[in-house]
Chain A
Amino acid sequence: MKDSEIVALYLERQETAILETETKYGKYLSTVVWRILRDESDTEEIVNDVYMRAWKAIPPTIPENLKLFLARIARNLSFDRMSYRTAGKRNAIQVELDESVPAAESGPEEAWEAREIGEVLNRFLGELDRKTCAVFVARYYYAFSITELAKRYGLSERQAKYLLQKTRGKLKEYLEKAGVTL
């Protein structure tokens, strides 16, 4: 079934919308979630939550890209669950992103909102070459492991790590130049 037809089911409040979503994107969403949580039962639970969230969000939201819309929900719920599970302990993604935190500011600036930082992040990503961008986003948005990145993008693991490290450094410089305060 086409995405537009599935979205139409949501708008018409037909419960088959969830069934159709599961049929078309169930496996994909499971992969997105599992990659972050690495746990079968949590994955199943979160994917079901994704369907419920989508049901509540559409309408009023009418997603232009249903797959990415669902992936966003899945990702956010997964990271929330991870934070809960690890009781605030930092995960590998957060540890790596430490390198991209701009140097300490001199004055008492107010921290930027995540959405504002997101806008700067998008401008930064737009300046990367496609492959680097894909690898960077796959790691820090979808939480691909280094091994998965290497296989997916035809790199050795060492090359993948090097690419990420280099890009984290560039992001830090970019955020500093943009005057981002965290």
Chain B
Amino acid sequence: MKSDRLAEAFQYIDNQFLELVDTERSRKKPFWTYGGLVAAGLLLAVILFSVGAMANNWFGLRELLLNQRGIDWGDPNTRGLVWEDLEESGENTAGKGTWQNDVIGLAGAKGSKEAMALEEWQAFLESYDRDGSVLREADSDGISYENEGLYFVYSQEMDDKLKEIAAKYGLKLHTQMDIVCLPELAYRVGGTFWTNEPGPACGYIYEDGSFQVDLSYHAEEGWMTDYQLRRVVKGTLDEVALGIGDIEEYEEWIYQTRGGEQIILAMGSVKALILGDFEDCFVTANILEGTDEGFTKEKLEQLAAGIDFSILKAVKIPDMRGDVAFEEDFYLLQNGITPSRYAQEDEATAGQDGNGQGSASDGTDAAVGTAYPRETSKKGRYGAYYALLYELYHEKTWPDGTKCEFNFEGDMWRMEDNDFALSDVDGDGEEELIIMFPTSTMGGMEGRVYGYDAETESCYLELQEWPGFRFWDNGVVEVMLSHNHGPACESLWPFSIYKYDASEKRYIYQGTAYGFDKELSEELSKELGEDYTGKYPEEVDEQGYGTVYYIMTDGYSEDHPISREAYEEWLQQYYNGAVTLTLPYWKMTEQNIWAINVYE
């Protein structure tokens, strides 16, 4: 076989490449031997600044440490998130020993009044109400305290202690907190503080400009990660602390941002951190994965480079105009239109959430101000896409005149819970309109891909399937099936493959893949009432992988199982070095639909 000759050629690999197998393994290294993607100039800057940092006593994780705590898994009095999580999960923790959970404060470096106040407040909380009796009484006494809701306060004693600590260190206490969507947060903070589109997000902001938001970072290379970004404005008592596991396992280094800010990056096995101590605020990014999950120092630096600290460190007092949790409400407010749900806030009482959203009764969202016309002057591709989405949103009608099966019973769904994207998924050099429509019954959910015909000035359908798309950059799309009607398989959810045909201007079905795990055949027998034990085709699975596959091109059939090698050979003809596409999905809001008009 030709690949045998290629495999044989590997024996002639130079020693310099064989040595990399050892030298490039993931482990702690002195930063001056750190390789990767750091440009030589930046590396030199890091070295110089780290030397300077030692001279100026730059902070590190240890400067933020509140206490080092070993969590005794068998001790019911152990406080902290770990124990609460375990209680909820019902996990049996007997005999599991201790787990190190060091806690850092996020209010400022050691010695600052914010850090000292936090430490004192946290120490008080650690020792207070250890048997929970006060809390149990508070749940039913109906009494509210001044700082309840903004702080972890549920008794007068706690309220008094909080005020005492704040006064001792000359700090203010928070007085208001609003729930905000990302555009609203950017407006209040003073600008867009990210350089990589994080997708829809929601957070909260205080009257002094302190805030927290959960974001996703989507790298151009295709990887993504979730993180929490928190800014604590100095001068106010902030009570949030963070458990980081074992502080000893973290590797820390100084990173200089493009704006010239010096921040600390810290990499652990289950978590990574970005820490910035500025004159008016302290900023933390808590990345929810570490080296155990394959997160790397390079990725951490890439994520740090995607945050604009020049915006974050310039604290301004925000416009506390109440909760603005929905993006369409933000855009209406910016255009001087008061969202209807705000005007109706006083009328609607029962069943409302804190945002004052009324419940839908006729299938549409509580009447948001309709500031956007059906007809626009936009022509061509994007004008056609706008018209298509407008009809879908307002009339629940697809271009072919059929009604979409929008499930609007009660207030289960809103049109805004659907998504759309503009992206060249079929490789023809032009952007298609991709619509993901899950707001329906199982049978009514669908995903669609529309192209645009410039000659007829109309949209045409390229693909209509279950909304479980994964596009590849070679015109192939993988579509997950809604149900697995086949044999049980842990490692493979059945999927179909379609390939774009430029001459037919549509995606052509290639086949559907199912898997069958031998070890599940007994379970399957019980579930289906049919004897699957003994049905596993051993003769096909010569290598003993324990899984066989079926490629079905003409309806469901278990007649022709194939081996893993044959399955991977079938896959490779479609993937063949292609990479998956990360599409920039937008929520199907009026504002987002309107935004298509600005496309060139």
Q: Give A contacts to B, CB under 8 Å.
A: 64-65, 68, 71-72, 75-76, 79, 89-90, 93-95, 97-101, 111-112, 114-115, 117-119, 121-122, 125-126, 129-131, 133-134, 137-138, 140-142, 150, 152-156, 159, 165-166, 168-170, 172, 175, 182
Contacts and interface: CB of A to CB of B under 8 A. Distances in A.
B5 A153 contact: no
A117 B575 contact: no
Given A138-B21, A153-B26, A156-B293, A182 B6 contact: yes
Nearest to B14: A122
B82 interface: no
25 contacts: A68-B19, A98-B1, A99-B577, A100-B3, A101-B2, A101-B6, A117-B6, A117-B8, A121-B9, A122-B14, A130-B20, A130-B24, A130-B35, A131-B24, A131-B35, A133-B24, A134-B23, A137-B13, A141-B10, A159-B223, A159-B294, A165-B577, A166-B579, A168-B577, A182-B2
B77 to A, nearest CB: 37
B36 interface: yes
Contact of A68 (B18, B294, B575, B579): B18
A154 B294 contact: yes
Contacts of B7: 79, 93-94, 97, 140
A158 to B, nearest CB: 8
B9 A169 contact: no
Contacts of A93: 7
A111 B18 contact: no
A118 B12 CA distance: 5
A132 B579 CA distance: 16
B13 A154 contact: no
A141 B18 contact: yes
A65 B497 CA distance: 49
Interface of B: 1-15, 17-21, 23-26, 35-37, 223, 291, 293-294, 296, 542, 565, 568-569, 572, 575-577, 579
A12 B36 CA distance: 44
A117 B9 contact: yes
Nearest to B577: A169
B3 A101 contact: yes
B19 A155 contact: no
A89 to B, nearest CB: 8
A64 B5 contact: no
Q: Which 10 A-B pairs have the closest CB atoms?
A: A118-B12, A169-B577, A154-B26, A156-B294, A134-B24, A117-B9, A182-B2, A134-B20, A114-B8, A97-B3
Main secondary structure on B side of the interface with A: helix
Contact of A118 (B9, B25, B569): B9
B2 to A, nearest CB: 4
A101 to B, nearest CB: 5
Contacts of A150: 294
Contacts of B294: 150, 154-156, 159
B1 A94 contact: yes
Contact of A71 (B5, B17, B18): B18
A165 B7 CA distance: 16
A81 B5 CA distance: 17
A154 B291 contact: yes
Contacts of A165: 575, 577
A62 B473 CA distance: 50
A141 B13 CA distance: 8
A24 to B, nearest CB: 15
B13 A153 contact: no
B252 to A, nearest CB: 17
B5 A117 contact: yes
Nearest to B5: A182
A75 B577 contact: no
A32 to B, nearest CB: 10
Contact of B15 (A65, A111, A126): A65
Given A65-B19, A140-B10, 10 more contacts: A71-B18, A94-B4, A100-B3, A101-B6, A114-B5, A114-B9, A119-B12, A141-B18, A156-B294, A159-B294
A95 B1 CA distance: 10
A68 B11 CA distance: 11
B12 A152 contact: no
A138 B12 CA distance: 14
B572 A99 contact: yes
A76 B8 CA distance: 9
Contacts of A121: 9-10, 12-13
Nearest to B37: A129
A15 to B, nearest CB: 27
Contacts of B37: 129
B12 A115 contact: yes
Contacts of B15: 64-65, 68
A150 B8 CA distance: 25
Contacts of B24: 130-131, 133-134, 153
Contact of B10 (A99, A118, A169): A118
A121 B10 CA distance: 8
Nearest to A150: B294
Nearest to B6: A97
Contacts of B17: 122, 125-126, 133, 137
